[in-house]
Amino acid sequence: MPDTINDLLKIVKEYNNKKADLEKIKQAYEFSDMAHKGQKRKTGDSYIVHPLATAITLANMKLDAPTIIAGLLHDVPEDTNFNLIDIEKKFGGEVAGLVMGITKLSKVKYRGIERYAENLRKMFISIAEDVRVVIIKMADRLNNMQTLSALPPQKRKRISLEVLEIYAPIASRLGMGQIKGDLEDLAFPYVYPKEWKWFEKNIIPVYKEKMEEIGRIQEEIQKEFNENRVKVLSMHGRRKHYYSLYLKLLRPQYDRDITKIYDLVAIRIVVPTVSDCYKILGIIHKKWKPLPGRIKDYIAQPKPNNYQSLHTTVFSPSGKVVEFQIRTLEMHEQAEFGIAAHWHFKEGSINFFSRLPGFHPKGYNPPKKLKWIHELTEWQKYVTDSKQYLDSLKIDILKDIIFVFTPQGDVIELPEDATPVDFAYHIHTEIGNKCTASKINGQIASLDTQLKNGDMVEIMTDKSRKGPNRDWLAFVKTSSAKGKIRSFFLKKSRSQR
Q: Among all residues, which ones are annotated catalytic? A: 78-79
51 touches 5 (CB < 8 A)? no
3-state secondary structure 340-378: HHHHCCCCCHHHHHCCCCCCCCCCCCCCHHHHHHHHHHH
Burial of 305 (0-12, 13-18, 19+ CB in 10 A): middle
SS3 496: coil
- Amino acid identity of residue 68, one-letter, is I
480 touches 396 (CB < 8 A)? yes
Q: How far is CA 378 from CA 172, 175, 308, 356, 357, in A?
A: 21, 22, 31, 12, 10
224 touches 283 (CB < 8 A)? yes
306 touches 327 (CB < 8 A)? no
d(CA 396, CA 235): 37
Instruction: HSE, CB side, 13 Å, CA atoms: give it for residue 301.
Output: 6
d(CA 223, CA 444): 54
Measure CA 219 to chain center: 32
For residue 339, give the DSSP letter: G
Measure CA 309 to chain center: 18
- Amino acid identity of residue 227, one-letter, is E
For residue 479, give the DSSP letter: H
